[in-house]
Structure 1
């Protein structure tokens, strides 16, 4: 045992002699490696040991960082594949987002969520309001900014999420249930578009929602959700009990999110009506088409 340990210690750079050994030069920088003394585990004698050169340590650290970066890129690319309508989502940025009256609070909340992402933990965002008023573009723009910073982000619509999870049970796609659910839990940010858009949730869908909400809360990871519910629905017991008969899932959701009512009107409607009336969108929304 002693002989085996001595061999291990020699390979690690420990000298047999207790006297100061000849200096050892680093093969990278040519400088002398630092020396130190440690106690031999069996004899108790103080032995000299050659330490790693700072440049060797840096090379190992750089290699470790490079491997971690590669692993993260693979993870991000795998997770991104789950996102809905990827090409459309990529085109949504803060630069081509058109701020409109009523969107100010939602815009500032998403900008703040991006800027402070690393410090917010599980604190997410819940933006609700009329359909077509820019909620999806705004959250996608924030998600794209975080992707640029190296975060793994999933953007998925509720309908797409449920259909893909259901398809795994029917053997109609190549993704497994564990892959989809795992990605939803593992992503740094989950953007859940059209949350509660289903008129009637099945027991299974309620369970899927709970698994994702509960799993991300436990992992201290946020969700950004958009929803077309009205302020009246937001405050009603009907919404609170839609996910379970005690309202626990709903209160867990909004308890972990900054909730913002996007007051802007339906941009698609404004655009269509302004075109029909031969005026600009701004003129229509300011009441000039009345």
Structure 2
């Protein structure tokens, strides 16, 4: 399991990042104490560093020296959680992530530096009703995964690679639906190995700005719903430290962080 070392002076931000990163399947070590972070960095080899900019404001500090040494020898990449109050004084290559944290940008950076085959887009496992149309024929289907770039549908109707489809997806909980132009990019044929699943991977043809924002809001809504629905997530998630694409929806979800279920049936991949 990949291990991440995360440091910041804000305990609530650390707790929120811990919930998210553990939800994605990573081992996380966190601290707000510079001396503890320095000691851990000197004695172990994490796969990725995520550090608040205020912790690295003093170039003479042992933590700054330890981090820059890791960057210089190329052993451990760094993501800086940038604060407006602290300047970025590191000369070695690193990435910067603004606070409040954009979960889409965080996911992309984690994938870039941690995974052997990185995904650029946050993808959720969902259970949503859907419909696809080809010409004058329409067929109901079940949407099993969703990202900002495409989805996977479960259907008994054989689909041809390259086919263009119009797909309708209800954004449950938002009282809205999207009708998107798509193309089929791969098929899954039923077999004992996949429990006789039949369906197709579908890529979105570039959509309008408003549709893109609505889709991103929905994915944010679903993702935060996953976290607030889990017992672990209910204890440390603070949405105020996340960049809110849909603040009114995030506000509603934050009221469920006491452990009650969010208003949407969504589950995360294992």
Structure-2-length-normalised TM-score: 0.28
Compare the two structures and name the one with the higher helix fraction.
1
Which protein, 1 or 2, shows the higher relative CO under an 8 Å CA cutoff with sep ≥ 6? 1
Query: Rg bigger for which structure?
Result: 1
Compare the two structures and name the one with the higher strand fraction.
2
Structure-1-length-normalised TM-score: 0.27
